[in-house]
Structure 1
Amino acid sequence: MQERKYWQGARTLAATLALAALLPATQAAAQSTAEFPGEAAASEIMDFRSMHGLAFEDRAALLSLSWDERGIQPGGREPVSRVISQAIAVPLEEARPFLAVAPVLAGRFPAHSLVEVEIRGSSDGVAWGEWFDASHHGHGDDDPGHELMRAMPGLPGVGDESLPGELVFFDADTRFVQYRLSLIRDFHGTAPIVGELALHFISPGETRGELETQSLPDQRPATAAPQAAMPNYVPRSSWGNLSNTGWLSLASVSQLVVHHTVSPNSSNDWAATVRSFYNYHVHTLGWADIGYNWLVAPNGAIFQGRAHRPDGNTNVRGAHAAGHNSYTMGLAYIGTYTSVNPTSAAVESGARVLAWKAAERGISTSLIRGHRDYGSTACPGNMLYNRLFDTLRPRVQQILDGDSAPEPEPPFDTLWHRADAVNANPWYFGNNAQRGLAFGGDRIYVVSRHSEQWGPHVMVHSAADGSGLGNGGASLDTSGIAGGTLVLNAIDSDASGRPLAANLVTDLSQQRFRAYYWPDDASEPLRVVDFSGQSAHRLGDHIAVRGSVVDGTAEIWAPASGVPVIYRWTMNGDGFNHWPQAIHLSDGVVGTSAAVAPLENGRFLWNATGQHLRLYEGNGALLGTVPGGIVARDSNAVRLLGRDGDDLWAAVYQFGSSNENARIVRIPESNPAGAGSLGVTTSLAANSNPNASGDIAVRRNQGSVDVFVLASNNGLGAYRFAQLDLSSAQDDAPRHEEVDAVEPAGHAPREPISVAPPIATPVDAASGGVEHSPALMDLELNQ
């Protein structure tokens, strides 16, 4: 089939643009065909070598620029100059089904200087939408065998470099655009020079009818599993009426690179999105073909990118990772995955493409990498990059091992984010000061020590949208709370939704472990536990509460860190017992930031940083360990969601730059080694969390479960797992195996604690124990 041309006389475009560059702003004639109704393209060129090209919205911005016959650069000693253009009319009669716009810069660009380009759109030139980043991000055709038709380099006086930007997608009714240029000097003060900026406008046209699919001949080695065959895909003849073969250079594929296209995550015409990239890459940038080898849409459809060789060789050299195309294959997930996870359908389709090529070429899953691993770029976005490690690589390995069916992941809806990933952190976040999280009623409670001079806080947020109550400043009364290395650290709520919080002690022989209860949000805290022993145990990284304080059935579980012991306080008629029960872990496992999730039958889950999630009998006998491939060691807090027959469902907090989220796991109670991962919530951000501090709270609804996540320095998030209809694993009338109500050898309370029914009396700061020292509160806990 003859390859169709989007532009008439496409190979003359460079000459057309060279002539157009002599004018301050020139429109290249739009071209259209009938094969895809509405298909057209045009360009506008701004020539900064002439004052006529400096059509900026704010003329005062010119003062921050230096201009000469070569173009514009940051003026004077300014490290950054930023200018916004006047409104530019879209040079197309209409856009169908949407409008795509991309910038291409020509000039001189020293290695460490930067030119950032942003674009926004408007239907009337008055009300403008948000700015979208369209800067160059490292894609490129570096094949010396291609005779590239560059749009603008080499024009007289402009320089010999061009920077192609990213496509930005707008609604079909967009009639005007603006660009914002930021020119940034490097650390030596060397400035970029921009001679021209061309805006390329693309209407890809509407796709009519059903997209046909086809499959490649089975070329797997004999040792590869049948599941590793190439899945069905949409060929070029279907999405673009293009030939499926060409004589492109070959790559020695030994690594697999994952991208995102930084385009919309929803569409009724994914083929039009693919055509937009083809049009831009070929007819604007002059590349030999579309840059990606393969593209995957959010609905799971797989699109062939670059043409294969006529002999069927699929290892054609792409233009997706400049400097690395000769040994890589590029797979692009259509969409933007900076703060949104790719769909399960897209992940599965991408995994099958990657497994096929990995089997064919003998590539280890460790060589499935993100574009950012090859250069200075955020691609493929934080969310997709995270899934390389926790989902995509494991799924590829699973396919290679012969498992054709993915384990279903329950879909979840993001209820809200108060997180740095969306620039919406609560105001008090930062400085590693957020510690514990609890849910109760219609509220969530966050333990924070954000203001040392005022003491500890328990900040109150709406569970509905995460907003801070009291204009963001509402906190429970913490008057009289004192003692410990951290005065407050961990928190949970009882069956009635009322919070109980505890301090953190790093040496139980020298400090008193204390827990507090708030009968309502207006009450003063009641001290319900005040305990010390003779061993230097660390206590209070996390606590778990079961039962109801009002009903007298509440329990407080406090796992020690660094020693295999869990302390458990139960209630009697006078409040909480003075003496905690000590549960010794039979396998002697220890870890930092230990956490526990008790079950209704006396058993419990235990997790800690540096260890694997474990299930124990109520007396501490180990029942089984969840594999590290399901729950990594970079995790600690654990909460139960409920049970489905023999299966326990739990949420585990994961920390680190690729996490700061929750993993949902299914654990067969009779065989914890058979556990499976059932979903990962969105990463809240990638800010440093040196103490690995974070927490999880759970709300069980009729037919769904809500999971709340706290990650220090990164934010809060709430997620609804709509297909979970679980029975309780933490009822209000727990049955427990009897364990000795004694301390480990050598432990005893320093003094009896008088507790008034049903629990305690308001805290008196002078009631003994170690008073808080600001120096201790400033101490960062190395975990």
Structure 2
Amino acid sequence: MKKSNWLLSAMLSLLTFSMMAQPERATLELSPEYRGGAFQSAPLDVPLAEAVHFLAFSVTWSGSPGLVSARFAAADGIWGDWQALPMEGHAEQSPEKRVSVLHFAPADTRKVQVAGTAGMDNLTLHFFNPGESSLPDAAQKETLVEERSPVFCPCPQPAYEGRDDWCPSGTCPEDPTPATTSVTHLIVHHAAGTNTASDWAAVVRAIWDFHTGVNGWDDVGYNWLIDPNGVIYEGRGDNRLGAHFCGTNGSTMGVCMLGDYTNITPTVQAKAALAQLLAWKSCDIGADPLGTSFHGSSGLSLMHISGHRDGCSTACPGDAFYPELPEIRDAVVAYIASSCAAIAPPANLTAAPMSDTTVVLNWEDASDNETAFLIERATSFFGDYVQIGEAPADAVSYTDDTVEPQSGYYYQVRATDGQDTSLYTNKAFAFVNIVSTADLLHGQRVEVFPNPVAGVLQVRWESPFQGPLHVRLMDTASRLIRSGEVRGGALELSWEMGTLPPGLYLLELTQNGQRAVFRVVKE
């Protein structure tokens, strides 16, 4: 068949970018001539420069349902095998618009030829070059540490690649008027596309282009996508109404496993990332990963973690992968139990001034899964607590050396694993007092040792005093702990300190109207 037999009009809708490595889109529109109830086009030039990584290709038409096939050739003119492109199961199919699946052709494709069945009119061939990515080696979007009270299962949101990461050119805008939804059910899909790629972010861009430029949707249909390396990509994002579940998308979160799992199953890394993502969302909405409940949008009773085919007639998420969903649910439960256990809060926080500019905090470590302790301070009990530092995992003390003399401070501490936090400890108060540094009494040198002290405190002076020596031990709030009297003629005093709590104490000596105060640190 000669090319002149075609009524061919090329309508290029190339995106204009400053670099060829950025995404490009183009279309060819054609009207087939049928022979024997079928058609086959002449070879057509691809209306794009050579693609990067792959050439994404799909077909739309009006008229009857049908099957499109396509084959592709590089510049050397050698044709590949014919590839069947059945109708896309996620798209809304109508006589006005039929949509094929998305196909990934070799990057060096320069010509395409299509064939189809009777009743297909006004074909549009869609071409998309995804361009280059500039992704870092690992997912970068990490959930910030937040204060919350763990209730059902505080699984943190796993790291993911945001839209700016997988579409660095900024040419994949999100829906400008998104609708929100209260998620109750988590729906697992497969892309039914390529299982190999050198740049999976480029595959995500191709799916975005297919959903927006071909299907006519406002954004990529899924909330999240996961590649075979276990990298999670943000689609519509959290609690956004998607376009993925048989036209009954309300109260669902759609997760697409990149690849075709008709005959093979996803990689271990991809399934692990899926379990983490589903564990986070199960915790977020308080859903039992093994449970079932009524889904209002579809009118069906669905498991909280379901496959696309549970909602309508489709092979998604693939004949090989769908039977593994019970294992995925079990993996979600296991991940929650092993990796998302609530962090026990530290207990029995105390605060004691150790000098004019130092307060020492002590607590009991009640958790075994923290990575650090977050130290917070305020100047009033109900004031605004500000984090002033961190202590490492398994720590039971912290020294605050940023206090001011003659000031009071309130403290609270919580444990963190880097993404989630425990509840707070009790609040502890310390008042930093200014005390005398005098070491003379009536001209005599007085020695107080050992200091710091763990057991017996010794006090000595050079010669006997005339009259009794009055002794008081106080805490830094000037509360009396112990008192005594030494008769004249003595040269020393011994006091047992071993039963006292650690902290700073004030030892006051008074004799015949003169007074000296010494700092004593109890270890």
Query: TM-score, normalized by length of structure 2?
Result: 0.56
Distance 1:160 1:263, change over 3 A: closer
Q: Partners in 2 of 1:236 and 1:219 — Cα distance?
A: 26
Show CA shifts across 1:263-297 (max 9, x none). 22222211111111112222333311111110000
What secondary structure is seen at the aligned counterpart in 2 of 1:63?
coil
> Aligned partners of 1:198, 1:96: CA distance in 2, in Å?
22
Matched, 1:372 2:309: yes
Query: 3-state SS of the aligned residue for 1:274?
Result: helix
Number of the residue aligned with 2:129 = 203
SS of 2:30's equivalent?
strand
Q: Does 1:383 align with 2:320?
A: yes
Equivalent of residue 354 in structure 1, options 265, 278, 281: 278
In structure 2, distance between residues paired with 1:35 and 1:213: 25
Change (3 A) 1:133 1:99: same
220 and 101 in structure 1: CA distance in 2 versus 1, 3 angstrom threshold: farther
1:40 aligns with 2:13: no
Match of 1:176 in 2: 111
Q: Which amino acid in structure 2 is aligned with residue 118 of structure 1?
A: S
Q: Is the 8 A contact 1:42 1:91 kept in 2?
A: yes
> Which residue of structure 1 aligns with residue 179 of structure 2?
249
Structure 1 residue 204: Cα displacement? 0.7
Are the structure 2 counterparts of residues 321 and 35 from structure 1 closer, same or farther at C-alpha, using a change threshold of 3 Å?
farther
Cα separation, partners in 2 of 1:43 and 1:356, compared to 1, 3 Å: same
| 2:309 counterpart SS class | helix
Residue 346 of structure 1 deviates from its aligned partner by 0.2
Q: How far did 1:125 drift?
A: 7.9
What corresponds to 1:686 in structure 2? Answer: none
Matched-pair contact (CA < 8 Å) for 1:221–1:359: no
Three-state SS of the structure 2 residue aligned to 1:325 is: coil
1:139-178 paired onto structure 2 within 5 Å:
139-140=90-91, 161-178=96-113
- Aligned partner of 1:375: which letter? C
Residues 1:222 and 2:195 are matched in the alignment = no
2:58 corresponds to: 102
Letter in 2 for 1:289: D
Does structure 1 residue 89 correspond to structure 2 residue 52? no
CA distance in 1, matches of 2:148, 2:117: 49
Which residue among 119, 143, 168 is the counterpart of 2:70? 119
* Gap runs ≥5 in structure 2: 1-5, 290-302, 342-523
Partner SS, residue 401 of structure 1: helix
TM-superposed CA distance for 1:235, in Å, is 0.4
Distance 1:101 1:23 in 2: 21
- The 8 Å contact of residues 219 and 360 in structure 1, kept in 2 or not, is answered as no
- With 238-247 and 372-381 compared, the bigger mean Cα shift is at 238-247
Task: Give me the whole-angstrom Cα distance separating, in 2, the residues matched to 1:363 and 1:136.
Answer: 34
The 3 A distance-change label for structure 1 pair 162 and 275 is same
Alpha carbons 2:307, 2:322 under 8 Å: kept: yes
Letter in 2 for 1:122: A
Query: Is the 1:119–1:168 contact (alpha carbons within 8 Å) kept by the matching residues of 2?
Result: no
Between the aligned residues of both structures, percent identity stands at 33
Where do residues 248-647 of structure 1 align in structure 2 (5 Å cutoff)? 248-306=178-236, 308=237, 314-365=238-289, 366-389=303-326, 391-403=327-339
Mapped contact 1:140–1:321 kept (Cα < 8 A)? no
d(CA) in 2 for partners of 1:278, 1:99: 14
The one of 213, 226, 229 aligned to 2:140: 213
Which residue of the partner structure matches residue 356 of structure 2?
none
AA at the equivalent of 2:72: G
Cα deviation code 1:40-95 (max 9, x no counterpart): 11101122xxxxx32xxxxxx6122xxxxxxxxxxxxxxxxx54333222111211
Q: Pairwise CA RMSD of aligned residues?
A: 2.9
Aligned mates of 2:103, 2:313 — CA distance in 1 = 20
Give the 3 Å change call, closer, same or farther, for CA 42–255 of structure 1 in structure 2. same
Deviation of the 1:28 alpha carbon: 1.4
Classify the secondary structure of the residue corresponding to 1:331. strand
301 and 383 in structure 1: CA distance in 2 versus 1, 3 angstrom threshold: same
- Equivalent residues of 2:175, 2:218 under 8 A apart: no
Contact kept, 8 Å, 1:251 with 1:328, in 2: the verdict is: yes
Distance 1:276 1:268, change over 3 A: same
Residues 286 and 137 of structure 1: is their aligned pair in 2 closer, same or farther, counting only changes over 3 Å?
A: closer
Query: 1:291, 1:305 within 8 Å by CA — same for their partners in 2?
Result: yes
User: Using the alignment, how far apart are the partners of 2:68 and 2:182 within structure 1?
Assistant: 34
Give 1:375 shift.
2.3
User: What one-letter code is carried by the residue in structure 2 that aligns with 1:295?
Assistant: L
Describe the shift of the 1:179–1:362 C-alpha distance in structure 2 as closer, same or farther (beyond 3 A).
Answer: farther
Larger Rg: 2
Q: Give the counterpart letter for 2:304 in structure 1.
A: L
Are the equivalent residues in 2 in contact too, given 1:42–1:200 (CA < 8 A)?
yes
C-alpha contact (below 8 Å) 1:237/1:244 kept by paired residues: no
**What is the SS of the residue equivalent to 1:398?**
helix
What is the identity, as a one-letter code, of the residue corresponding to 1:275?
R
Once residues 259 and 328 of structure 2 are traced to their aligned partners in structure 1, the CA distance between those partners, rounded to angstroms, is 17
Contact 1:235–1:244 under 8 Å retained in 2: no
- Secondary structure of 1:272 counterpart: helix
Q: Is the 8 A contact 1:87 1:178 kept in 2?
A: yes
Deviations along 1:669-727, whole A, 9 cap, x unmatched?
Answer: xxxxxxxxxxxxxxxxxxxxxxxxxxxxxxxxxxxxxxxxxxxxxxxxxxxxxxxxxxx
Q: Contact conserved, 2:194 with 2:259, CA < 8 A, in 1? A: yes
Shift of 1:162: 1.1
Normalising by structure 1, we get a TM-score of 0.38
- Report the CA distance between 1:38 and its aligned residue: 4.5
Distance in 2, matches of 1:140 and 1:29, equals 22
Work out the CA distance in 2 between the residues paired with 1:256 and 1:221: 24
**Aligned equivalents of 1:196, 1:245: Cα separation in 2:** 28
Separation in 1, partners of 2:8, 2:175: 41
Equivalent position amino acid for 1:249 in 2: A
Cα distance in 1 for partners of 2:206, 2:116 equals 23
1:225-252 CA distances to partner (integer Å, 9 max, x unpaired)? 33x2210000001111446785401223
**Amino acid of the structure 1 residue aligned with 2:153:** A
Distance 2:68 2:29 in 1: 15
Per-residue deviation at 1:359?
Answer: 1.7
Q: Which amino acid aligns with 2:98?
A: L
Equivalents in 2 of 1:87, 1:125: separation in Å? 13
Give distance in 2, aligned partners of 1:321 and 1:117: 24
CA contact (8 A) 1:337 1:383 kept: yes
Structure with the larger strand share: 2
Distance in 2 between residues matched to 1:400 and 1:83, nearest whole Å = 55
CA drift of 1:160 comes to 5.8
Once the two structures are TM-superposed, the CA of residue 102 in structure 1 deviates from its matched residue by: 0.9
1:129–1:376 CA distance, 2 compared to 1 (3 A): farther
Q: Deviations over 1:303-358 (max 9, x none)?
A: 0011x4xxxxx210111123121222110111111111210000000111111112
Match of 2:463 in 1: none
Q: Which amino acid aligns with 2:216?
A: G
Matched, 1:63 2:36: yes
Match of 1:239 among 166, 174, 196: 166
Over 3 Å counting, the alpha-carbon distance change for 1:124 and 1:29 in structure 2 is same
One-letter amino acid matched to 1:25: S
Residue type at the aligned position of 1:205:
G
